[in-house]
Amino acid sequence: MLKLTWPQAAAWRIRRHHLDERAPAGSMLAVASRLCGLHAQVMSSAELTVWARVEDLDRRAVQLALWEDRTLVKTWAMRGTLHLLPSSELPLWHAALGTSPRYLKPALWLKYFGITLEELDQLTDAVAAALDGRVMTREELGKEVERLTGSAAFGAKITQSSWGTVLRPAAFAGRLCFGPSLGQRVRFTRPDTWLAGAASPPASDAKIGPHAAPSAVARRFLKANGPATYHDLARWWNGGGVANARQWIASLGDEVSPVELDGAQAWMLTADAREVRDLPPSRSVRLLPGFDQYVVGASCHAEHLLPGDLRSRVYRPQGWISPVLLVNGLMQGTWRHEIKGSRVEVVIEPFVKTPVWVRRAAGQEAERLAAFLGCTLRLAWKS
């Protein structure tokens, strides 16, 4: 069995994430695909996730892809959180999300939302009918669902569900996604009609059915985040379900190989395992935004990528994930930025004493950030 250290694993992952060398300009969609989407709980973080990986990214690129070209789609996906997914790959993700039991627990729906699964199906059907060829605010959608079903209670469940929980099954089934906001109000539409005019060729596995979709998702996860354990995949996908993760990885057969990662068993794609041992070391410094996919994927084993008991500095309460100073794939600090007029103030707070080359490279990243935001830079280091 191949034996790896955590620095070796980190070196492989930053390569897969384009964090050792940025992807060429114009490759935003390819990068989003490789990362299994962009975490979009905070839209600016999704934009900076791409900025950290793609050369010469236009500040408007993500917004244009979402609302004009429609080559990205905003929807609820892994762990029930908001993601931006390539439009051409949406059928794959819907097929996989449709297998998840996370939102099919009758007792929980009845206890917390006062609705049976049969009623949830009715509500989901009404949402799909209401959004056919239309873009609607939550309030408009609630009123239309009430009209279609004759149930004021159904309409109220949509307008009163501030976190959108009752709408997520519709999103998982491919019957709802986000449309462009109206001021501060989010709006929803239906992916099939919203994307009807988008010129986006399907990916090779985009139309895989529900039986094969879990294998395709496991393959993509390992390609971006290997070496990984069953718990890593389970946490990333739905917050639990280790038994399902075990089945998903096992379904890949000889495509995956076990590796020993610092004494514990993990899994990699077999083709990747043949390359990682001979991967030359490289220096890499990046300012990763909050909710970055690299940090999300490491949530189960972050202590191996941190210089001490500092997990709470990165993985914060209520699911918030801090921006990270990443050095050779290791989380060496946090940072924050604030735009004040024409200036952006960047404050970096390292966890350990930083060598001169790291400070210099981090400063260059901050300069790149300022240029991306169209600002001048004020950089400070906080000890």
DSSP letter at 184 equals T
Residue 59 lies in a domain: no
In a domain, 121, yes or no: yes
Domain that holds residue 148: 101-189
Query: According to the model, what pLDDT value does residue 163 have?
Result: 74
Q: Answer yes or no: is 34 within a domain.
A: no
The single-letter code of the amino acid at 122 is Q
What is this structure's pTM?
0.95
Residue 277 has pLDDT above 90, yes or no: no
pLDDT band for 111, please (50, 70, 90 cuts): confident
CA dihedral 29, 297, 22, 54 (to 10 degrees): 40
Q: Show which of 132, 161, 189 is a domain's final residue.
A: 189
- Predicted pLDDT at 201: 59
CA 337 to each of CA 38, 53, 63, 286: distance values in angstroms, whole numbers, following the listed order = 20, 18, 21, 14
**Arithmetic mean of pLDDT, 170-175:** 94
Domain termination site, one of 189, 218, 234: 189
Cis preceding-peptide flag for 227 (omega within 30 of 0): yes
Q: Is the model more confident about 207 or about 5?
A: 5
Whether 51 has a pLDDT exceeding 90, the answer reads yes
Residue 139 lies in a domain: yes
Comparing 128 with 198, the larger pLDDT belongs to 128
| CATH number of the domain where residue 145 is located | 1.10.10
89 pLDDT exceeds 80?
yes
Residue 323 lies in a domain: yes
Segment 222-235 mean pLDDT = 97
Query: Measured between alpha carbons, how far is 218 from 245 in angstroms, rounded to an integer?
Result: 8
Give the confidence band of 35 by pLDDT, cuts at 50, 70, 90: very high
Q: Is residue 36 assigned to a domain? A: no
The pLDDT, as a whole number, for residue 240 is: 74
Instruction: Give the pLDDT score at 99.
Output: 85
Mean pLDDT across 5-28: 96
Number of domains in the chain: 2
Task: Flag whether pLDDT at 211 surpasses 80.
Answer: yes
Output the six-digit token pair for 107: 């007792």
Phi/psi of residue 361, nearest 5 degrees = -65, -40
Q: For all residues of the chain together, what is the average pLDDT?
A: 93
pLDDT, tens digit (0-9, with 9 covering 90-100), for 56-75: 999 999 999 999 999 999 99
Band (96; pLDDT cuts 50, 70, 90): very high
DSSP 8-class letter at 160 = T
Q: Of the candidates 189, 213, 235, which is a domain's last residue?
A: 189
Tell which wins on pLDDT, 319 or 86: 86
Q: Tokens for 168, please give them.
A: 């997520």
Spatial separation of the C-alpha atoms in residues 357 and 363, rounded to whole Å: 10
Residue 49 is which amino acid? Answer: T
Count of alpha carbons within 13 angstroms of residue 42, beta-carbon side: 14
Domain-located, residue 182: yes
How would residue 49 be classed by pLDDT, with cut points 50, 70 and 90?
very high
Which of residues 76 and 196 earns the better pLDDT score?
Answer: 76
- What does each C-alpha distance from 162 to 136, 149, 181, 331 come to in angstroms? 16, 21, 16, 33
Question: Is the pLDDT confidence value at 174 over 70?
Answer: yes
Query: Does 202 score more than 90 pLDDT?
Result: no
In a domain, 309, yes or no: yes
Percentage of the chain exceeding pLDDT 70: 97
Residue 162 has pLDDT above 80, yes or no: no
The span from the CA of 149 to the CA of 133, in Å, is: 19
